[in-house]
Amino acid sequence: MKLIAGNSNRRLSDAIARQLSSTLADAEIKTFKDGEVFVEIQENVRGEDVFVLQSTSYPANDNLMELLITMDALSRASASRITAVIPYFGYARQDRKAGPRTPISAKLVANLITTAGADRVLTVDLHAGQIQGFFDIPTDNLYAVKEFEKRIRELQNGDLKNLIVVSPDVGGVVRARALAKRLDDRPLAIVDKRREGPGQSEVMNIIGEVKGGHCVIFDDIVDSGGTLCNAAQALMDKGAKSVTACITHGVLSDNAEERIMKSEALTRLIITDSIEARAEVADCPKVEQVSIAKLLAEAIRRIANEESVSSLFD
C-alpha cells in the first residue's frame, strides 16, 4: 500500500499517514507559470495498491486537475489499484438540473475521475448520497457524525436532556435525524427557508419546538455562512438558549469567518478538517475543528486488507 498526497490538504494527509504508521510516497506535484499541472511519482508503484489523498476544495479546478493527473501518472506507472480518497468532493452541489440548460457537473466530475484511472472512490458526507450512483466504480461515502457526537457530548458534559438537533432545510432531515438518534434520540427541528438565489436564503419558519433548548444545527457544507447565521438567529428568536453548528465541510468562502464572529446568535461552529482551514478561519475563536483522519485511515486500512468497511457507515 502506498499513500500519495496532493497539495489541497497536506495536514490531513500527514495525519492519515500517522494513523496508519506509514509515510507519504515521494511525488512532485507542481504548477507551471501558465497554470499547467505537472506530476512525477518519484518511487516505484508497479503492482502497488495506491491511495491518492486530495480534496477538490478551493481552488477547486486546480486541485481537481492535480487529482486527475496524479491518477493518470499512477495508471501509466502500472499501479495495480488506484483509490481516489476525496474527503471533500467539489461540484457535489451541482447534482441535478436546477434549471433549463444547466449542467450536472457532479456527474461530469465522476466521469473524469473514472476515466483518469480510479478503481475506487472514498469520500465523506456527499452533499447528496445519490452521487454515489454517478460513479461506475465502487464508491464509499463515509459519515463524520461519530466525530460530532463525541464533541457534542463533551461540550454538554453528558447532559443531553435540553438538546435539540436542527436540520437547516428539509433536504437535510435524514442527516440530522442520524445525529439525533446517536444523541440518545433527542428531538428534531427543521428550518423552513426559501432560497432567493445562489448563496442567498430567507428563513421562513421553524418546524418543531426549540424554546428553552440548546440547538445543534447539523449540515454537510457551510459556504458563505449567511444562511447558517440566519438560521441561528431564527432559532434564538423562537426561544432557543444557544445555537451550535456542526458542519462537515467548512468551505467558508467570502470572509465567512467574519459573519460567524459577528453573529450574536451562533455560539460555536464545529467543522472537520476535510478542507484545510485558511489562517483566518483557524484563528477564529468561534470555529473549531474535529479530525476525520482516524476515520479515513481505518477505511483505507480495511480497503487495502480487503476487509469490510460496512461498520464504518453505522
Concatenating the DSSP letter of every residue in the chain gives -EEEE-SS-HHHHHHHHHHTT--BPPEEEEE-TTS-EEEEE-S--TT-EEEEE----SSHHHHHHHHHHHHHHHHHTT-SEEEEEESS-TTTT--S--STT---HHHHHHHHHHHTT-SEEEEES-SSGGGGGG-SS-EEEE--HHHHHHHHHHHTTT--TTEEEEESSGGGHHHHHHHHHHTTS--EEEEEEEEEETTEEEEEEEES--TT-EEEEEEEEESSSHHHHHHHHHHHHTT-SEEEEEEEEE---SSHHHHHHH-SSEEEEEEESSSPPPHHHHT-TTEEEE--HHHHHHHHHHHHTT---GGGG-
**199 annotated to bind ligand:** no
pLDDT of residue 66: 98
> For residues 275 and 109, what is the distance between their CA atoms, to the nearest angstrom?
18
Q: Crossing angle of helices 145-155/173-182, nearest 10°?
A: 50
The whole-angstrom distance between residue 119's C-alpha and the CA centroid of its chain comes to 21
pLDDT of residue 198: 59
pLDDT of residue 196: 62
Count CA atoms closer than 13 A to 206's CA, side-chain side.
22
**227 annotated to bind ligand:** yes
**298 annotated to bind ligand:** no
Active site residue 286: no
Query: Is there a shared CATH topology between the 2-143+294-313 domain and the 145-291 domain?
Result: yes
pLDDT of residue 159: 86
Is the peptide bond between 187 and the residue preceding it cis, with omega within 30 degrees of 0?
A: no
The amino acid that residue 100 corresponds to is P
**195 annotated to bind ligand:** yes
**219 annotated to bind ligand:** yes
Using alpha carbons only, what angle is made at residue 235 by residues 314 and 275, rounded to the nearest 5 degrees? 50
pLDDT of residue 314: 74
**169 annotated to bind ligand:** yes
**225 annotated to bind ligand:** yes
**What pTM was computed for the model?**
0.94
- What is the sign, positive or negative, of the torsion defined by CA atoms of 60, 66, 67, 68? positive
Residue among 250, 254, 261, 193 nearest 220 (CA): 250
**226 annotated to bind ligand:** yes
pLDDT of residue 224: 92
pLDDT of residue 313: 83
pLDDT tens per residue, the chain (314 residues)? 999 999 999 999 999 999 999 999 999 999 999 999 999 999 999 999 999 999 999 999 999 999 999 999 999 999 999 999 999 999 999 999 989 999 999 999 999 999 999 999 999 999 998 999 999 999 999 999 999 999 999 999 888 999 999 999 888 999 999 999 999 999 999 998 776 665 555 667 899 999 999 999 999 999 999 889 999 999 999 999 999 999 999 999 989 999 999 999 999 999 999 999 999 999 999 999 999 999 999 999 999 999 999 888 87
Domain boundaries, the chain: 2-143+294-313, 145-291
Find the catalytic residue in 2, 97, 181, 193: 193
Residue among 67, 23, 63 nearest 43 (CA): 23
Instruction: Tell me the CATH number of domain 145-291, given options 2.30.130.40, 3.40.50.2020, 3.40.50.620, 3.60.21.10.
Output: 3.40.50.2020
Cell triple for 119? 478503481
pLDDT of residue 215: 97
Instruction: Tell me the CATH number of domain 2-143+294-313, given options 3.40.50.300, 3.40.50.2020, 3.40.640.10, 1.10.1040.10.
Output: 3.40.50.2020
